């Protein structure tokens, strides 16, 4: 029998009542959430659901170029995988899982070599650990270990067994009962990394870099693994474009050294800032330095990044262009090394002792005399900036001191190259004329003591006879300049030497030694023996206390060929804006000093230097050379058990000098042999042949 209409009506009323009741409950709940509970949920979202922190955005440091715009040091963006303290904090499980996960990803992408090698004072395998005695014998490693123990609030004399037991539990690698929560291999890995995190000062403002220079594949793997606590940190790394070339000029960057902390903090640098440590990187820090920016990062309770907002834009540093010609620098370094090797080999084959077989080091400098621009600062032996850190111990202990920049810091007797200064001073003071003739009898007997001898008398037992100034320079007659030095006097001589730059700062922006200009002032200031007439005649030929740097010798020669005008040496060509290359600053050539040098006297000196390369001591180096050059050789005794130093300074071209080069080879035995490296530099600069030949080929 079909239901009646009354029964359907009752059912509809019940369903309608249920619907109304459910709607009222839903509306009441909605009102509570959106209105009455608004403050509560806002507070929860503000104080418990998110965490905001500020991180640094590293600014681009200015890049370095040579005079032609060839890059020497550029920036490269490096993506590092890091552990973030804000996301990890004291959560051992998260930190451990993150470390193991990153290592696993690195293994899959072939980047295990990029993983940080953790500082671990422990040797052995779980559970049999021991202190690494070899590592902790190093004072720096010991200090780092001690600081870590202090941070962990453990005594320095704690046993290895007690320490590792406590750390394994502290880092969540074992439970309270000492049961291992990971495999033994994982335990060893985690102990090393977790201890290194403590030793590295892992904190909210100091992320822990676990993998350096991550590839796209590794970044993708880590991202897909959703490793909470990991993040990507972008840093700017310096890239050396010519590894092993101009290392002494470019210099290094690194964290602020302890003895410079106060200086840099006063300049507004952060304690972890990267600064120039030496070379051009340090000299031009104010130009190269960028200003870091800031980013605000908001994360949820699980460490997931919700948003990133740049609050302070970073400001890039400025680029600098050096006066150095990197291609000429490379040729000079090679030529210098080849020249030294040639001298050593020739000396080893010579029957006579101390004939250059002990040659192993030297320097070569090149400048533009008209402007003071430095084109080359070569020092041998040298080193590679890209492998400096790993090779430091070897470099520091090398007896030939490759880390020592001989071009600016080496101080050498000038030998007979000094005679040009004596000649310039005597001519200008009217003590002699170009036609003044002096009779060299071999032994200088004006004083009863000393009675020095000319080099030709020592070697052959004879003198040069009657010679004028040009011939005296050409054959490098000591006797002639003994007499000229006596007539001139040390006071007048040194007045001209200082004006020409000997014993004076060159003006270069890099650290340099000042050398020593022999004379009463130096003796009195140094507490040495009283100055005597015998010292004056020795000083007149470049002996006595005279020692100068290779760059000083180039500046001195540059002043002579620049008609007595000495220019300030400099290595900064210009400063340019990062990104636009607009010139912001360009130093003007600066005259430092000058000497009175008449046109006639200038021509006499120039022709005398040409005669040295055409008919004199340097003729065998330049006898068939297609370019006319001028120069002066020097051979300086330094010790009874060592070969003499070889010195050669020259300019080219003769009619209109563009560049001056000076080569000093320690224990080079003969000044002439130092000319081969200079010739190779001239060949490169003036485009003569492919490489100008080398020293060995010319003999």
Q: Give the model's confidence band at 236: pLDDT under 50 very low, under 70 low, under 90 confident, else very high.
A: confident
**Res. 285: pLDDT tops 90:** yes
Residues 238, 73: Cα–Cα separation, whole Å:
6
Residue 698: predicted pLDDT: 38
Per-residue pLDDT at 12 exceeds 60: no
Cis peptide before 282 (omega within 30 of 0): no
Residue 44's pLDDT band, with cuts at 50, 70 and 90, is: very low
**pLDDT at residue 302, as a whole number:** 62
> Residue 6: its pLDDT value, please?
52
Q: Residue 696: is its pLDDT beyond 60?
A: no
Lowest mean pLDDT among 6-20, 58-72, 218-232, 419-433: 6-20
Give me 576's structure tokens.
Answer: 């340019």
Per-residue pLDDT of 588-645, as tens digits, reads: 999 999 998 999 999 999 999 999 999 999 999 998 899 999 999 999 999 999 999 9
Residue 21's pLDDT band (cuts 50, 70, 90): low
CA dist., res. 210 & res. 231, Å (int): 10
Report how far apart, in Å, the C-alpha atoms of 407 and of each of 48, 549, 589, 667 are. Answer: 63, 6, 22, 16
At 647-690, the pLDDT tens digits run 999 999 999 999 999 999 999 999 999 999 999 999 999 999 85
Take residue 429 and report the two structure tokens written for it. Answer: 């003071």
**Least confident residue range of 59-63, 138-142, 435-439, 689-693:** 689-693
Supply the pLDDT for residue 295: 85
pLDDT at 373 over 90: yes
CA angle 428, 434, 438 (to 5 degrees): 110
Q: How confident is the model at residue 133 (pLDDT cuts 50, 70, 90)?
A: very high
Residues in the chain: 699
Whether the predicted pLDDT of 199 surpasses 50:
yes
Q: Would you state the pLDDT for residue 39?
A: 44
pLDDT score at 601: 96
Q: Are 75 and 187 in contact (CB under 8 A)?
A: no
Alpha helix positions (H), 373-460: 388-397, 406-409, 419-429, 455-460
Kindly provide the residue ranges of all beta strands, DSSP E only, lying in 392-514, ordered along the sequence: 438-440, 465-467
Does residue 10 surpass a pLDDT of 70? no
Which pLDDT score is estimated for 220?
A: 94
What is residue 22's predicted lDDT score, i.e. its pLDDT? 58
β-strand pairing of 361-367 with 293-300: unpaired
Q: What is the pLDDT of residue 676?
A: 97
Residue with tokens 């004076």: 504
Average pLDDT over residues 518-536: 91
- HSE on the CB side for 498, CA within 13 Å? 10
Cα–Cα dist 419/472, whole Å: 9
pLDDT value for 304: 66
Among residues of the chain, what percentage have pLDDT more than 90? Answer: 76
pLDDT at 383 over 80: yes
- Cβ burial 352-381 (10 Å sphere, 16+ → b, else e): eebbbbbbbbbbbbbbbbbbbbbbbbbbbb
Cβ neighbours of 219 (radius 10 Å): 16
At 46 the pLDDT is 45
Strands (E) located in 60-180 = 64-65, 71-83, 122-125, 128-131
- Mean pLDDT (whole number) for 62-68: 97
Q: Does 32 score more than 60 pLDDT?
A: no
Task: Tell me the average pLDDT across 347-358.
Answer: 94
The tens digit of pLDDT for each residue in 425-475 reads 999 999 999 999 999 999 999 999 999 999 999 999 999 999 999 999 999
The model's pTM is: 0.82
Burial class (CB in 10 A: 0-12, 13-18, 19+), 605: buried
Let me know: does 225 contact 105? Beta carbons within 8 Å.
Answer: yes
Question: Residue 239: beta bridge partners?
Answer: 74
Name the pLDDT band for 43 (thresholds 50, 70, 90): very low
Average pLDDT across the chain, whole number: 90
Is the backbone of residue 578 left (phi > 0), alpha (psi -120 to 50) or beta?
A: beta
pLDDT at 265: 83
pLDDT at residue 211 is higher than 80: yes
Query: Sign of dihedral through CA atoms 18, 20, 23, 28?
Result: negative
The residue-averaged pLDDT of 128-153 equals 93
**pLDDT value of position 47:** 44
Longest dimension (CA), the chain: 158
- pLDDT over threshold 80, residue 25: no
């Amino acid at each position: 029998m079909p239901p009646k209409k009354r029964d359907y009506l009752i059912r509809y009323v019940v369903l309608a009542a249920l619907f109304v009741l459910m709607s009222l409950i839903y509306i009441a709940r909605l009102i509570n959430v959106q209105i009455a509970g608004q403050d509560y949920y806002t507070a929860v979202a503000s104080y418990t659901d998110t965490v905001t922190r500020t991180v640094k955005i590293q600014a681009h440091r200015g890049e370095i170029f040579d005079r032609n715009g060839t890059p020497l040091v550029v920036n490269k963006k490096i993506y590092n995988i890091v552990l973030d303290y804000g996301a990890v904090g004291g959560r051992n499980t998260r930190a451990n899982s993150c470390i193991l996960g990153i290592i696993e990803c690195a293994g899959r992408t072939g980047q295990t070599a990029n993983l940080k090698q953790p500082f671990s004072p422990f040797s052995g395998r779980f559970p049999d650990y021991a202190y690494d005695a070899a590592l902790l014998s190093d004072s720096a490693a010991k200090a780092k270990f001690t600081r870590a123990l202090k941070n962990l609030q453990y005594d320095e004399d704690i046993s290895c067994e007690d320490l590792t037991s406590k750390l394994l539990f502290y880092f969540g690698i074992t439970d309270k009962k000492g049961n291992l929560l990971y495999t033994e291999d994982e335990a060893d890995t985690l102990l090393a990394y977790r201890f290194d995190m403590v030793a590295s000062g892992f904190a909210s403002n100091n992320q822990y870099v676990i993998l350096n220079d991550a590839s796209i594949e590794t970044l993708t793997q880590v991202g897909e693994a959703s490793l909470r606590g990991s993040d990507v940190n972008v840093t700017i790394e310096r890239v050396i474009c010519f590894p092993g070339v101009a290392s002494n000029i470019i210099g290094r960057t690194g964290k602020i050294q302890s003895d410079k902390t106060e200086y840099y903090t006063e300049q507004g640098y952060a304690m972890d800032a990267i600064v120039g440590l030496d070379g051009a990187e340090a000299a031009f820090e104010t130009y190269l330095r960028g200003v870091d920016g800031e980013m605000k990062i908001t994360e949820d309770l699980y460490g997931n990044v919700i948003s990133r907002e740049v609050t302070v834009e970073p400001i890039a540093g400025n680029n600098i262009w050096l006066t150095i010609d990197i291609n000429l620098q490379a040729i000079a370094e090679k030529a210098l090394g080849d020249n030294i090797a040639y001298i050593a080999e020739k000396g080893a084959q010579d029957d006579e002792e101390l004939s250059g077989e002990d040659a192993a080091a030297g320097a070569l400098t090149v400048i533009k005399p008209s402007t003071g621009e430095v084109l080359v600062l070569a020092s041998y032996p040298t080193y590679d900036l890209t492998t400096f850190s790993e090779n430091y111990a070897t470099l520091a202990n090398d007896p030939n001191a490759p880390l020592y920049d001989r071009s600016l810091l080496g101080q050498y007797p000038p030998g007979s190259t000094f005679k040009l200064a004596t000649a310039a001073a005597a001519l200008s003071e009217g003590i002699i004329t170009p036609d003044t003739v002096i009779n060299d009898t071999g032994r200088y007997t004006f004083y009863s003591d000393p009675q020095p001898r000319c080099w030709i008398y020592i070697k052959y037992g004879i003198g040069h006879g009657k010679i004028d100034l040009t011939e005296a320079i050409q054959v490098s007659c000591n006797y002639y300049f003994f007499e000229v030095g006596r007539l001139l006097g040390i006071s007048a001589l040194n007045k001209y030497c200082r004006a020409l730059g000997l014993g004076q700062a060159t003006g270069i922006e890099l650290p340099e030694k000042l050398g020593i200009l022999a004379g009463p002032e130096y003796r009195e200031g140094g507490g040495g023996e009283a100055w005597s007439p015998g010292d004056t005649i020795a000083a007149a030929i470049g002996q006595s206390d005279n020692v100068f740097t290779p760059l000083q010798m180039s500046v001195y020669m540059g002043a002579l060929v620049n008609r007595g005008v000495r220019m300030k040496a400099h290595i900064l060509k210009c400063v340019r804006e990062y990104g636009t290359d607009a010139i912001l600053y360009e130093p003007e050539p600066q005259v430092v000093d000058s000497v009175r040098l008449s046109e006639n006297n200038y021509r006499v000196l120039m022709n005398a230097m040409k005669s040295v390369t055409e008919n004199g001591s340097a003729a065998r180096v330049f006898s068939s050379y297609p370019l006319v050059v001028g120069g002066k050789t020097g051979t300086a005794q330094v010790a009874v058990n060592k070969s003499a130093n070889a010195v050669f300074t020259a300019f080219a071209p003769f009619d209109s000098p563009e560049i001056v080069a000076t080569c000093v080879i320690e224990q080079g035995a003969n000044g002439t042999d130092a000319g081969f490296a200079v010739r190779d530099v001239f060949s490169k600069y003036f485009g003569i042949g492919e490489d100008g030949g080398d020293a060995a080929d010319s003999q």
